Amino acid sequence: MTRRLNEDERAVLRRILAGRPGLLAQVDRAEVVATWAPGSVSVDIEVPGAIPDGDLNGVFPRLALVEDAGEFLVWVAQGVLSGLEYATYLGEYPTSLPDAETISFPE
């Protein structure tokens, strides 16, 4: 199951990755290669022909909270986007991503 990122996934990634042009450049070419579980909004990502943005590995270092609902984690492997995780605090699994404008970045 490979597909292009949908509009909501791209919007979330663009908001979180603002100020990081190398990773932002990967968003439009990124593809979803798997979901984390049936019906999950968290996905594994591959970026064909990506130019790595440094050697970042693991979680992108920016806290991205959705008020009283959860947080986003952007995963990176050797400078290339590799996953988008939405961790909810509500106890139920969401069926869609929250609007990117609801994401805040506490200091």
Q: In which residue are the tokens 């990081």 written?
A: 20
The pLDDT > 90 percentage for the chain reads 83
Report how far residue 57's alpha carbon sits from residue 72's, in angstroms, rounded to the nearest whole number: 16
Please tell me the predicted confidence (pLDDT) of residue 1: 73
Centroid of chain to Cα 17? 9
Report how far residue 80's alpha carbon sits from residue 107's, in angstroms, rounded to the nearest whole number: 25
Please tell me the predicted confidence (pLDDT) of residue 24: 97
Domain containing 37 equals 3-104
Q: Which residues of the chain fall below pLDDT 50? A: none
Kindly tell me the burial class for residue 36, based on how many C-beta atoms sit within 10 Å of its own C-beta (0-12, 13-18, 19 or more). middle
Structure tokens belonging to residue 64: 């991205």
Number of structural domains (the chain) is 1
Please tell me the predicted confidence (pLDDT) of residue 55: 87
Question: Over the Cα atoms of the chain, what is R_g?
Answer: 13
Give the pTM. Answer: 0.94
